[in-house]
Amino acid sequence: MNTSERMITMEVLRYRPEQDETPFFQQFLVPFTDDMSVLQGLQYIKDELEGSLSFRWSCRMAICGSCGMMINGVPKLACHTFLRDTYPNTLRVEALAHFPIERDLVIVMDDFMAKLESIRPYIIADTPRALSEGEYLQTPAQLDLYEQFSSCINCLLCYAACPQYGLNSKFIGPGAMALVHRYNLDSRDSGSAQRMPLVHAEEGVFNCTAVGYCSQVCPKKVDPANAVNINKTESAKDYFLRFVTPKGAGK
């Protein structure tokens, strides 16, 4: 072993549906250096100790969002969390909370993907635009309105942190709502009328109990709690304006 290496115990949640009735923890002794991430520790386990271990990963740079896991009980990106921060204590790694487990640390993402599709996460133009007309122009000030919310990488850490989603999976959730806000604020987009029914719905923004943990765990500082709160205001405003706006106005 390299003289700069130390050993840390990693306690990893295992679940193989073809043979395990329930999830269980398995411990591994992993050599590490100060620059090793939790993801690298898992890769060492898979390469050297237990080849059947399953987990998602891709970029290793906190960009793709694939390696979201519960690390010592906190939703984090495994590639952005270091083994040195837990040493000499045992490090526990589990699948993200509030989602069904497909295998080991791999969760079933179907519910989130359906929510993501439902919000229409793309620019909906008011009128078709030919390529010959050139690109849609936008000022720096217009970009500033939504840029923060465009940083979402769909890592699902906010869903694992959201107690309301844990109680009621029908809740649209913080990540999807942040993306609703991102597109509704975009000067090039005209699709807010198609998205707002999801905001107003029974399982929309007012299901949020304003804990704010979703924003604390977001690795990209998107602040989904703020997006939810702003849309609560917008939803309430839309509701009350129906009673003060003259019938037929705006038509």
178 belongs to a structural domain: yes
Q: Give 151: exposed, middle or buried? Use CB within 10 Å, 0-12, 13-18, 19+.
A: middle
Together in a domain, 129 and 233: yes
* 77 and 159 belong to one structural domain: no
What are the residues facing 51 on neighbouring strands?
none
- Residue 250, domain member (yes or no): no
Q: Cβ-count burial of 114 within 10 angstroms (0-12 exposed, 13-18 middle, 19+ buried)?
A: exposed
What is the gyration radius of the CA atoms in the chain, in angstroms? 22
Same domain, 144 and 236: yes
Do residues 228 and 173 touch, judged by C-beta distance below 8 A?
no
Q: Are residues 22 and 90 in the same domain?
A: yes
Pair (219, 156) in one structural domain? yes
Question: Residue 251 has what pLDDT?
Answer: 44
pLDDT reported for residue 80 = 97
Task: Give the chain's domain count.
Answer: 2
End residue of a domain, out of 59, 91, 107: 107
Give the domain-ending residue among 60, 82, 107. 107
Strands (E), the chain: 6-14, 24-32, 68-71, 74-77, 91-94, 101-103, 106-107
Do residues 103 and 203 both lie within one domain?
no
List the CATH number of the domain containing 231.
Answer: 1.10.1060.10
Domain-located, residue 162 = yes
Which domain range does residue 42 map to? 6-107
Considering the domain boundaries, does residue 177 fall inside one? Answer: yes
* Same domain, residue pair 99 and 188: no
Whether residue 249 is contained in a domain is answered as no
pLDDT score for 234: 83
**8 A C-beta contact, residue 114 and residue 169:** no
- CATH number of 31's domain: 3.10.20.30
Sequential pLDDT tens for the chain (251 residues): 555 789 999 999 999 999 999 999 999 999 999 999 999 999 999 999 999 999 999 999 999 999 999 999 999 999 999 999 999 999 999 999 999 999 999 999 999 999 999 999 999 998 888 889 988 899 999 999 999 999 999 999 999 999 999 999 999 999 999 999 999 999 999 999 999 999 999 899 999 999 999 999 999 999 999 999 999 888 887 766 667 766 655 44
Residue 197 lies in a domain: yes
Other Cβ atoms closer than 10 A to 44: 17
Residue 246 has a pLDDT of 61
Q: What is the pLDDT of residue 226?
A: 94
d(CA 82, CA 28) in angstroms, rounded, equals: 16
User: Do residues 118 and 195 share a domain?
Assistant: yes
- Last residue of some domain: 107, 125, 159? 107
Tell me what pLDDT residue 5 has.
80
Compute the distance between CA of residue 199 and CA of residue 83 in angstroms, rounded to an integer.
40
d(CA 33, CA 42): 14
| Residue 239 parent element (H or E) | helix 224-244
pTM as predicted: 0.90
Is there a single domain that holds both residue 25 and residue 120?
no
pLDDT for 165 equals 96
Q: Which tokens is 88 given?
A: 């000499």
